[in-house]
Amino acid sequence: MKKGELLFEGNEKQVYATDNPDQVIFRYKDVTVAYNNVKRARFIGKGALNNKISAILLNYLNQNGVETHFIEILGEKEQLCRKIEIIPLQVVVHNRIAGSLAARLGVEEGFRHPNTIVDLRYNNDFLEDPFINRDHAFALGLATYQELDEMYNIARRVNELLKPLFHKAGIELVDMKLEFGRASDTGSIIISDEISPDTCRLWDEKTGERMDKDRFRLDLSCVVENYNNVLTRLKQVTES
C-alpha cells in the first residue's frame, strides 16, 4: 500500500489517498481546536494518543458488529481506513447533560437523566454546527430518513458497547460525538472519523476528573497526561 496525495486537511487531521481507491490514510495532528476554532493549541503527543485510542475503540466496534471505517494502525500517528462519502452530520449521544447541552437546557453540568439523549447537528463550520432535526437533514439532502434511522440506531448501539467498556476502565462516558459516511465499496452507512478524548466527554469514575478535551477548553492543564491515562486504561481492559 502506497501513500498518495493529501485529499483533505482539517484542523486536527489529514486524509491521504492510497493506491487502493477504497482506502485512505488518516493522520492525526497534535493541534487541538475548540469553540469553533476560536481557541487553538498544539500538544506534542496528542495526535499519536488519539490515533491509538481511536484505533482501540473503532476496532472494538468492528469486532462487535458495528461497521466502522477503521482497518489498521500504520504508524504512530496514522491509520488505514475505508474511504467514505462524508455525511456532514454529527450525532451526539448524551448519558449525562454537560457542556453546550447543559447551557442550552439551563441545567447544571453533569445533570443525570434516566434516558439516553441523541442530538443531531449539521457539520458546518460557517454556521457553527447548528442543532437540526431529521426533517432539516432530509430537506437539505444530507441523508434519507432510512439513513437517519440507521445512524440513530448505530449511535445507540455504539453507546451500549462503549459505555460498559469505559466503565471497566473506571471511566464514565458522559457524551460523545459520532460521524458517519457511506462506504465507497459497499455504500453502507458506517462510523467514520475518530472516537477519542477529543470527541467524547470522559470523567474518572472515582475522582470525577475530566480526562478529555474539556481539559483544554477549560484551561485545566495536563491534557496529554490525561489522554495517556485513557489509553493506558483502555489497553488494560482490551488486551487482558
* Residue at grid coordinates 474511504: 83
Which of 30, 43, 73, 99 is in the footprint of ligand C5P by CB under 6 A?
99
Q: Nearest 5 degrees, angle CA 189-CA 192-CA 196?
A: 140
Question: Is 132 near ligand C5P (CB under 6 A)?
Answer: no
Listed ranges 10-18, 139-147, 164-172, 199-207: which one lies at the site for ligand C5P (CB under 6 A): 199-207
CA separation for the pair 67, 190 (Å, rounded): 5
Question: Is 69 near ligand C5P (CB under 6 A)?
Answer: no
Closest distance of CB 156 from ligand C5P, Å: 16
Kindly provide the residue ranges of all beta strands, DSSP E only, lying in 52-209, ordered along the sequence. 70-73, 78-82, 84-97, 111-122, 131-132, 171-183, 189-192, 200-204
Which of 148, 190, 200, 211 is in the footprint of ligand C5P by CB under 6 A?
200
Which of 201, 210, 215, 233 is in the footprint of ligand C5P by CB under 6 A?
201
Closest distance of CB 4 from ligand C5P, Å: 27
CA separation for the pair 180, 152 (Å, rounded): 10
Q: Are 122 and 137 in contact, with CB atoms under 8 Å apart?
A: yes
How many alpha carbons fall within 13 Å on the CB side of residue 31? Answer: 14
- C-alpha cell of residue 179: 460521524
* Residue at grid coordinates 471497566: 168
Contact map string, positions 105 to 124, toward ligand C5P, x by CB under 6 A: --------------------
CB-wise, 8 or 145, nearer to ligand C5P?
Answer: 8
Number of residue whose CB is nearest ligand C5P: 99
Listed ranges 53-61, 62-70, 94-102, 154-162: which one lies at the site for ligand C5P (CB under 6 A): 94-102
Closest distance of CB 2 from ligand C5P, Å: 31
Residue 109 CB coordination number (10 Å): 14
Closest distance of CB 189 from ligand C5P, Å: 19
- Give Rg (Cα) of the chain: 17
Question: Is 12 near ligand C5P (CB under 6 A)?
Answer: no
Question: Is 199 near ligand C5P (CB under 6 A)?
Answer: yes
For residue 238, give the 3-state DSSP assignment.
Answer: helix
* Residue at grid coordinates 475505508: 82
Question: Is 129 near ligand C5P (CB under 6 A)?
Answer: yes
Question: Is 177 near ligand C5P (CB under 6 A)?
Answer: yes
* Residues in touch with ligand C5P (CB under 6 A): 92, 99-101, 129, 175-177, 199-201, 213
